[in-house]
Amino acid sequence: MTPTLAPAANEPQVAPPGDLAIWFFILAELLAFAVFFAAYAFARAKNPALFDEMQLTLNRDAGAVNTLLLISASWCVARGVHAVVANNDSARASRWLLGGLAGGAGFLVVKLFEYAHVFGEGITLSTNTFYMFYISLTFFHFMHVILGMVILTVLWAQTRKGLYTPTSANGLESGAAYWHMVDLVWIVLFPLVYVMR
């Protein structure tokens, strides 16, 4: 692990926190989601009436709760990284990461209830264009949350063992950056799919 270079006063850091490779991975993921979002928006432009009508069948409250859960999880993870990097406090950091895991788990539970309702109504990918996008886009994101939870679990276990220090926290920062990317994508997805009319 290569520690990030110390900046001179008022001079910006050269590299982002974590490994450079995770940032290339994050940019690739963001590109994939950008294509998905653009495809949704332009498909909606062809038939806004259908998308507006189908949007009414979604549970916007669940979408908002999930946004709050992911934001809370991201905040917990950011505080966890801060506890290690600023205070070298692994015990506190592991509790923050546990909070992040709880937020992610809450997101998955709410989303599963939403899917149970949608599939219970007999809706599938081929029901219409809106649901083709809704199911594929949100499920693609759902899978990223699951991967993020796996990463957070590893980070939590490593942090509990005190393996991260202020000078050696690249693994923690890399995993945290991935988790924030998952949050960032949902922050765009929620208004696009659940709110925009």
Partner 1 sequence: MNPIIPARKLDLAFAILVVATIITWLIGEWWEGHDVLLPVMAGMLTLTFIKCRFVILDFMALRPVKFFWRGVVIGWVLLVLGLITLAYLISLP
Buried b or exposed e, range 71-82, using 16+ CB within 10 angstroms: ebbbbbbbbbbe
Which of 1, 2, 6, 146 binds partner 1 (CB under 8 A)? It is 6
Q: Which is nearer to partner 1, 154 or 191 (CB)?
A: 191
Contacts of 160 (CB under 8 A, 6+ apart): 90, 91, 94
Q: Which of 102, 33, 67, 86 is nearest to 194 (CA)?
A: 67
Least spacing, CB of residue 147 vs partner 1, in Å: 17
How far, in Å, CA of 44 to CA of 52, rounded?
A: 9
Which of 50, 79, 89, 95 binds partner 1 (CB under 8 A)? It is 79
What would the two tokens of residue 70 be? 């992911």
Task: State yes or no: residue 92 binds partner 1 (CB under 8 A).
Answer: no
Q: How far apart are the first and last CA of the chain?
A: 47
Task: State yes or no: residue 48 binds partner 1 (CB under 8 A).
Answer: yes
Least spacing, CB of residue 55 vs partner 1, in Å: 9
Least spacing, CB of residue 108 vs partner 1, in Å: 18
Task: State yes or no: residue 27 binds partner 1 (CB under 8 A).
Answer: yes
Are 170 and 19 within 8 A, CB to CB? yes
Q: Which of 157, 160, 190, 156 is nearest to 176 (CA)?
A: 156
Least spacing, CB of residue 90 vs partner 1, in Å: 15
Alpha helices in 47-128 (DSSP H): 48-55, 60-85, 90-120
* DSSP single-letter state for residue 165: B
Least spacing, CB of residue 81 vs partner 1, in Å: 7
Which of 1, 60, 119, 125 binds partner 1 (CB under 8 A)? It is 60
Q: Which is nearer to partner 1, 108 or 184 (CB)?
A: 184
Question: Would you tell me which residues interact with partner 1 (CB under 8 A)?
Answer: 3-4, 6-7, 12-17, 23, 27, 30-31, 33-34, 37-38, 41-42, 44-46, 48, 56, 60-61, 63-64, 67-68, 71-72, 74-75, 77-79, 81-82, 85-86, 166-167, 169, 173, 177, 180-181, 183-184, 187-188, 190-192, 194-197
